[in-house]
Structure 1
Amino acid sequence: MSSPRDPDGFEQRPDEGSGWREPGHLGGDGGAERPHGEPARDAQTPADQPPADRPDEGGGSTAWQPPGWDLPPASPDRPVQGPAAQYPAPQYPPVQGPAAQYPPAGPQTAGGPPVRGGLFGGRRPRRPSELERVFAYRGDAVGAQGWAVQQGWAVSDGTAPEDAVLAELVRTAPVRATKDHRPAGVMRGRYGTLDLVAFDVLFASGRYVVPEYAVTAAPVLGNLPPLRLSPARFWKHRTGGLVQVPSGDPGFDGRWVLLAAEDGPAVRALVGDATVRGLLLGTDDGDEFWTAAGHVAAIRPDGHRPELIEHHARMLTAIVGALSPAL
């Protein structure tokens, strides 16, 4: 039985493996001493050996190479062609594009807009976008002011001294008016037995000026109680201190709501008038009515037009006629 200290037998073969040498193509010494009995031959790498189909060609790194392997010799005197000469640009027929939308910039004319200065020279004022042109306020797009002039009414832009009361009507209107809303396109005249003032409520913010509401109002002599007459389907704004006053007519109360600070004679006279109820039930429930600044006013989310002015005038005539005896 052997033990770890016993020899493994390799000491009895001292010459085994002593003749191994590193191959020449791996960096070993190809001309080193070889074992006895082994014929000497030149160590060649596979790349230096001739191909099998052409054994007559000698070995070496230049014996055989794939076609196109070698680069042509450099010739400094050969003219070098630029990219444009090697690859000429394709020729296409000229494309007839659309005409320019705006005239080219040129010298400022006497009748043109002023040219503003800047870091890179003068430039023309910015042209409004398509959205700005669509929503631009044109004053009388549907001919309301033309109709007013034909009726003998006076027209103003809302900045006259007598137009100061209109700001109070806008402020107390039963809509969500802000500080950016202002009256414009004011028309004053007489319709039947009433003196009326009709105007648009513009939303002016930055570059946008949009007419959002049409208001028609009639001044009334006497102490008008705070009240509001609105369609039941409308959301109610600014109703603080107002309570609903029923009319006793289920058909009317289902479509219209009368709000007042108190249930007084004027309120009862308005809600009990059969003419007023009939006219309101015959509409599309698109108007609201309220009292403020000594006026009875009507408002609709629209721009003024002749048909709307006449519609408001008929409604205000009936409402003022019902309120006046009780004032």
Structure 2
Amino acid sequence: MSSPGDRDRDGFDDRPDEGSGWREPVHLGKGDTPGPAPDRPAEPPQPEPAWQPPGWDLPAAEPERPVQPQTVGEQPAGAGGFGGRRPRTPSELERVFAYQGDPVGAQGWAIQHGWDISDGTAPQDAVLAELVTTAPVRATKDHRPAGVMRGRYGSLDLVAFDVLYASGRYAVPEYAVTAAPVLGTVPRLRLSPARFWKHRTGGLAQVPSGDPVFDARWVLLAAEDGPAVRRLVEDTTVRGLLLGTDDGDEFWTTAGHGGGWAGGFVAAIRPDGHRPELIEHHARLLTAIVGALAAGA
């Protein structure tokens, strides 16, 4: 029968001052790493953290960074490739000639200036089909004149119209043509920006102007280098006007034997729909070109 005194004799008393220097044998513990020092109480056990899904503890949000000012045209940091670039402000010339598609505005301008208007199917419009087929663009059987306007601008009689691409339910003006009818024959020629791909140039040869600045931007092709062609390429007014443009127009001549008109045409074309500014732009250039061709007549 045991008694409280027996516990003392066995050395298993629960007094806190006994057994504090005990060490676990090396073969049962973690090597010879010593335990807590006798004069320092053991740290209380820490509770295990509760389980959370991976990624639940997000890092603390950083303070908001100040926005750095940017100059016009500067690309934000980190932006590149397909996004982030600030749009470039268009120039005055680009704003004037940007596609706006306002045939109503063009016809309103024409009516205000006393011009006649037709839909491209009137008898006098038959001659315009030849202008479309001879134009220095890839016209097809689905391209036809539309929104025709006739009138006088300065010393010239002009006809302006859109080249409409119509197929099924789809119809859109792809080109704007302005042409000046001229009496008699005109030399077969084409005056195009040097950057344009040249279509239907068979039988035409380049006629240099002698001005390297002009020849770097514009190319004159003609069936023969005659006096009228030479006057055109050497005319300082024509060269000055063309060098002041955005090189977006092409010019050509056609005999125009059809639709009751026995003369020819000097025409301008641009991949756009007609509007008042474009009619006036073409009219100024055609006035100079026709004047140069007819100077020696």
TM tier, smaller: 0.5 to 0.7
Give the drift of 1:142: 4.9
Larger Rg, first or second structure (1 or 2):
1
Q: Which residue of 2 aligns with 1:319?
A: 289
Give the drift of 1:208: 0.4
- Corresponding position: 1:265 with 2:227: yes
After superposition, residues 186-225 of structure 1 pair within 5 angstroms as 186-225=148-187
- Corresponding position: 1:143 with 2:105: yes
Q: Pick 1 or 2: higher relative contact order, CA cutoff 8 A, min separation 6.
A: 2
Amino acid at match of 1:318: A
Alpha-carbon distance between aligned partners in 2 of 1:219 and 1:160, rounded to the nearest angstrom: 17
Three-state SS of the structure 2 residue aligned to 1:152 is coil
Q: Which residue of 2 aligns with 1:166?
A: 128
TM-score (norm 2): 0.63
Give the drift of 1:291: 0.2
Give the drift of 1:221: 1.4
Regions of 4+ moved over 6 Å: none
**Structure 1, residues 270-299: CA drift from partner, whole Å, max 9, x if none?**
001000000000000000000012000000
Alpha-carbon distance between aligned partners in 2 of 1:285 and 1:197, rounded to the nearest angstrom: 22
Amino acid at match of 1:306: P
Alpha-carbon distance between aligned partners in 2 of 1:232 and 1:221, rounded to the nearest angstrom: 29
Q: Which residue of 1 aligns with 2:206?
A: 244
Amino acid at match of 1:319: I
Alpha-carbon distance between aligned partners in 1 of 2:102 and 2:217, rounded to the nearest angstrom: 33
| Residues 142 and 166 in structure 2, CA contact (< 8 A), matched pair in contact too | yes
**Structure 1, residues 42-69: CA drift from partner, whole Å, max 9, x if none?**
xxxxxxxxxxxxxxxxxxxxxxxxxxxx
Change (3 A) 1:142 1:159: closer
After superposition, residues 2-17 of structure 1 pair within 5 angstroms as none
After superposition, residues 1-327 of structure 1 pair within 5 angstroms as 141-292=103-254, 293=256, 294-327=264-297
Alpha-carbon distance between aligned partners in 2 of 1:300 and 1:198, rounded to the nearest angstrom: 12
Give the drift of 1:188: 0.2
Amino acid at match of 2:290: V
Give the drift of 1:215: 0.2
| Residues 103 and 274 in structure 2, CA contact (< 8 A), matched pair in contact too | no
Stretches of structure 2 that go unaligned for 5 or more consecutive residues are 1-100, 257-263
Give the drift of 1:141: 4.2
Give the drift of 1:223: 1.4
Three-state SS of the structure 2 residue aligned to 1:325 is coil
Q: Which residue of 1 aligns with 2:82?
A: none
Amino acid at match of 1:298: A
Alpha-carbon distance between aligned partners in 1 of 2:103 and 2:240, rounded to the nearest angstrom: 32
Alpha-carbon distance between aligned partners in 2 of 1:245 and 1:141, rounded to the nearest angstrom: 36
**Structure 1, residues 11-31: CA drift from partner, whole Å, max 9, x if none?**
xxxxxxxxxxxxxxxxxxxxx
Alpha-carbon distance between aligned partners in 2 of 1:141 and 1:197, rounded to the nearest angstrom: 14
Stretches of structure 1 that go unaligned for 5 or more consecutive residues are 1-138
Three-state SS of the structure 1 residue aligned to 2:126 is helix
Alpha-carbon distance between aligned partners in 1 of 2:192 and 2:102, rounded to the nearest angstrom: 28
Total equivalences in the alignment: 189
Give the drift of 1:207: 1.0
Alpha-carbon distance between aligned partners in 1 of 2:159 and 2:202, rounded to the nearest angstrom: 27
Three-state SS of the structure 1 residue aligned to 2:177 is strand
Alpha-carbon distance between aligned partners in 1 of 2:201 and 2:112, rounded to the nearest angstrom: 39
Three-state SS of the structure 1 residue aligned to 2:157 is strand
Amino acid at match of 2:277: E
Give the drift of 1:325: 2.3
Alpha-carbon distance between aligned partners in 2 of 1:287 and 1:326, rounded to the nearest angstrom: 26
Alpha-carbon distance between aligned partners in 2 of 1:189 and 1:207, rounded to the nearest angstrom: 31
**Structure 1, residues 56-105: CA drift from partner, whole Å, max 9, x if none?**
xxxxxxxxxxxxxxxxxxxxxxxxxxxxxxxxxxxxxxxxxxxxxxxxxx
**Structure 1, residues 203-255: CA drift from partner, whole Å, max 9, x if none?**
01111001000000001112101000000000000001000000000000000
Amino acid at match of 1:210: V
